[in-house]
Amino acid sequence: MKFKEVADEAAGCILCPRMAGERAVLSENNGSLASRVVFVAEAPGRFGSGRTGIPFYGDKSGDNFQELIDHVGLSRQDIFITNAVLCNPLSEGVNSRPTAKEMTNCSPFLKTVLELIAPELVVTLGGVGLSAINRLLGTRYKLNTHSAQLISADNFQLLPLYHPSPRVANWRRPLAQQKKDFQLILKALHLPS
């Protein structure tokens, strides 16, 4: 299956009732299909990629993510970004966490994208992204236990990291610490820091 076919299938998906009218964020805007690293986050945000169609762009989480990749010398042309669910799971007009069923519905898209790209490294951003990878691998990694640890997975290394949202940066994992965590990406890819 080609990437455009996967993106077209995602665009036409109506499996999740509360997201049936939302845009699936899966296109050339997600990044390079030749990327050595794939980032897996939670879901498109209503002010960010849900609005712009570009993952981690247009909101404060996107600004923080850009700061983090800039810090380690990566550009959006070097990476691929996707989510546990491809549409924004709005609830009463605000972002909410995807349900287990919604993640199950979207997991074939994530699996296919990972097979097409065949990255050396998968970086999960937050617990939901990690949960999506756990579903695919049949594992039970936890963010609070495995954060910032390189893990050998099936055909790639896995690096669970915290989400770059302002809430996380202010309360759980300061941006300064996240910058240190992002240095592990360079280590995993054998790039100079």
Q: What is the CATH number of the domain that holds 149?
A: 3.40.470.10
**b vs e for 100-136, b when ≥16 Cβ sit within 10 Å of the residue's Cβ?**
eebbebbbebbebbbeebebebbbbbbbbbbbbbbbb
Say how far apart CA 135 and CA 80 lie, in whole Å: 20
Query: pTM here?
Result: 0.95
Q: In what order do the strands lie in the sheet with 121-125?
A: 80-83, 37-41, 121-125, 157-161, 151-152
57 assigned to some structural domain: yes
- Residues 7 and 27 sit within 8 Å (Cβ to Cβ): yes
90 assigned to some structural domain: yes
94 assigned to some structural domain: yes
- Residues 72 and 159 sit within 8 Å (Cβ to Cβ): no
Whole-number average pLDDT of the chain:
92
Low-confidence ranges of the chain (pLDDT < 70): 46-51, 90-95
193 assigned to some structural domain: no
Q: Which residue has the tokens 């302002």?
A: 166
87 assigned to some structural domain: yes
Provide the domain limits for residue 130: 3-188
114 assigned to some structural domain: yes
Q: Based on the structure, what is the number of domains in the chain?
A: 1
Closest Cα partner for 150 from 142, 160, 141? 160
Question: Which tens digit of pLDDT belongs to each residue from 81-100?
Answer: 999 999 988 666 666 789 99
92 assigned to some structural domain: yes
pLDDT above 90 covers a percentage of the chain that reads: 75
pLDDT above 70 covers a percentage of the chain that reads: 94
- Residues 100 and 127 sit within 8 Å (Cβ to Cβ): no
139 assigned to some structural domain: yes
Question: Which tens digit of pLDDT belongs to each residue from 34-62?
Answer: 999 999 999 887 666 666 888 998 889 99
